[in-house]
Structure 1
Amino acid sequence: MVTVDVHEITQESVSDIYYFDTGMYDTPEYGAVYIIDAPEPTVVDTGMGPDVEKTLAALGEVGIDHDDVANIVPTHVHLDHAGGAGYLADACENATVHCPAVGAHHLADPERLWEGTRRAVGDQFQYYREPKPIPESRIEELHDGDELDIGDRTLHVHDAPGHAPHQCLFYSPDDDAVFTADAAGLYVRQTGEIRPTSPPSNFDFEQCLADIDTIRDIDPAVLLYPHFGPADTGEKLDTYERVLTEWVERVEQARTEHETDAAVVEAVATRVEGTEPWPDEKVYNEAAMNVRGVLGYLDAREE
């Protein structure tokens, strides 16, 4: 039987929202799934296909029957956020899958998404499970400005396409909290670091900066990171703007020093320092993927 440690978010403004560590990529404190215990129970992000049994166990820990889950809400369709959506929808037969409109077709027909993931994530592909298609009748497309009423609160939808064209933020005014997707970077809870995320193939640096401004304009007290966990907003958005800018500049400079993109990836990724509790292999693979994403952005900028 699968067991998980489910944590209730303790920030004063937040109520009845829980999260757990999926153990994604065999890495602790990297991937989180959120459960909102509302009159219409809601799961925000699903992790990857292999994480679904943990999500179902976590729902049980919170006291939510699978048949009572009303909403499954991936923030975007990258498979570390939506790879479990089809399997979770199968288990939660009454749930509607609410997905940013740009990516909704990938949930109904995930073949191209699966192949794109294979190319994008490199050696990390071993951790993935092929996504399960979701019937179109169970998918509700979301657009910028939409509001999702879940009974005792409303989630406000904000497009944030810098990390990926199909990414949205979800703001809960009642909790004064934003489900950040990957628009606020990766939060390393043990150290308090903010790390960059710039994956292939649609990373757009300028739009990422605009997405940070979107969160600034919302001005939430709490950021709910899928990577990883809840955090007071504080100076984190300013930190991420600086970190991401320095990261792009670092890759751009390396490209002037090396003859091939493969050499750039190796040179930059091997110099990225590790961080607890992530293993060195995950730190390297994450960095290598993010370098490839910046290189693709630089190519697109020159076209």
Structure 2
Amino acid sequence: MSIGDVYAVASVPDCYYVDVGLYGRTEYGSVYVCDTKRPAVIDTGLGTNPEHILDALDEVGIGPDELAYVIPTHVHLDHAGGAWVLAEETDATVLAHGAGVKHLVDPERLWAGTKAAVGDRIEYYTEPEPIPEERITALEGGDEIDLGDRTLDVYHAPGHAFHQAIFHDAGSDAVFAADAAGIYVPELDRVIETSPPPGFDLETVIEDARTIDALAPETICYGHFGPVSAEGRIDEYVEATKRWVEAVETARAEFDDEDAMVEHFRERADTPDVWGERSAAGEIRMNLQGVLRYLDERDERT
């Protein structure tokens, strides 16, 4: 698989995914294209290489004036960073959970928060531009997205981010899971945790994962990365996340500072062999920061 390659989702008719080369890596960030009666793009990548999505639309046969919807699962910029570009380049309506709409209309705070969270990896990002509010329709849990020949049921999934939604294609037994089912690493054939700040909440993350499990999908379409059989993946994710939170809590008691904790976990991780040292360390730091914030808030409550 190479950056920019487009593949069919075998279990979902007329659905494709493109590797958008997140952080310059393959098999790290995927965007889905639904070639339905009302065509849609689910997630948009960083916005740094929008040509990968535009080329995918062209390859599938969807013209700029034919795209009906751009649907970021949440407004974290690795999922929504390209929404403004697609809004400019197509006639599509942007559909996003209502909690995130303000950040698409005025992305200044989102951009500042992203820079603080990702550190020197900000070089891979493009600063988002505002999307006119009249181009955006807010979604809420319980809504349905009518793609003409199929429907996506909307579920609010705030454990990873308060503005996150997942989409269930009941007719194809598939869930577009955003980050609510973790990160699937194809090279390792394993699901790992994703717990960035500021919104990570362990209990709600588990509730979101169990929501997906209750839908009993055949396929989970991961934003990171690609479609995979759902069998056993939710249990795998829940257990991985619990272990991660426990490990961070132990490390918090052992080490004096964040850098030491990052190094501790980096030495024990196998993701550097897949993503490279820099990207893996960046993910570890963000996941660590999210859990540390969660633990601090939990301690305050108790």
TM-score (norm: length of structure 2):
0.96
- State which drifts further: 118-127 or 260-269: 260-269
SS, match of residue 47 in structure 1: coil
Flag structure 1 segments of 5+ consecutive residues without an equivalent. none
Does structure 2 retain, via aligned residues, the 8 Å contact 1:191–1:276? no
Which residue does the alignment assign to 2:7? Answer: 7
SS, match of residue 130 in structure 2: coil
Which residue does the alignment assign to 1:178? Answer: 175
1:17-96 mapped onto 2 (5 Å cutoff): 17-92=15-90, 94-96=91-93
Pairing 1:260–2:257 present: yes
Partners of 1:29 and 1:259 in 2: CA distance: 35
Pairing 1:159–2:170 present: no
Q: Which amino acid aligns with 1:145?
A: G
Partners of 1:272 and 1:284 in 2: CA distance: 9
Q: For 1:176-223, what per-residue CA distance to the aligned partner results, in whole angstroms no more than 9, with x for missing partners?
A: 100000011100112211111000111111110011111011111100
Does structure 2 retain, via aligned residues, the 8 Å contact 1:28–1:277? no
Q: For 1:107-143, what per-residue CA distance to the aligned partner results, in whole angstroms no more than 9, with x for missing partners?
A: 0000000000001112211110000110000100000
SS, match of residue 123 in structure 2: helix
Pairing 1:123–2:123 present: no
Does structure 1 retain, via aligned residues, the 8 Å contact 2:4–2:21? no
Does structure 1 retain, via aligned residues, the 8 Å contact 2:195–2:288? yes
Q: For 1:222-258, what per-residue CA distance to the aligned partner results, in whole angstroms no more than 9, with x for missing partners?
A: 0000100000101010111110100010000000101
Which residue does the alignment assign to 1:191? Answer: 188
Q: CA deviation at 1:261?
A: 3.3
Q: CA deviation at 1:275?
A: 5.7
Q: Which amino acid aligns with 1:80?
A: D
Task: Give the aligned length.
Answer: 298
Which residue does the alignment assign to 1:225? Answer: 222
1:90-109 mapped onto 2 (5 Å cutoff): 90-92=88-90, 94-109=91-106
Which residue does the alignment assign to 1:290? Answer: 287
Does structure 2 retain, via aligned residues, the 8 Å contact 1:272–1:284? no
Partners of 1:186 and 1:285 in 2: CA distance: 14
Q: CA deviation at 1:150?
A: 0.9
Which residue does the alignment assign to 1:114? Answer: 111
Partners of 1:51 and 1:75 in 2: CA distance: 19
Partners of 2:192 and 2:170 in 1: CA distance: 26
Does structure 2 retain, via aligned residues, the 8 Å contact 1:122–1:289? no
1:241 to 235, 238, 241: 238
SS, match of residue 169 in structure 1: strand
**Structure 1 residues 259 and 278, CA gap change in structure 2 (3 angstroms):** closer
Please identify runs of 4+ aligned residues in structure 1 that moved more than 4 A: none
Partners of 1:181 and 1:268 in 2: CA distance: 25
Does structure 1 retain, via aligned residues, the 8 Å contact 2:272–2:281? no
Which residue does the alignment assign to 2:138? Answer: 141
Q: Which amino acid aligns with 1:49?
A: G
Partners of 1:291 and 1:272 in 2: CA distance: 13
Flag structure 2 segments of 5+ consecutive residues without an equivalent. none
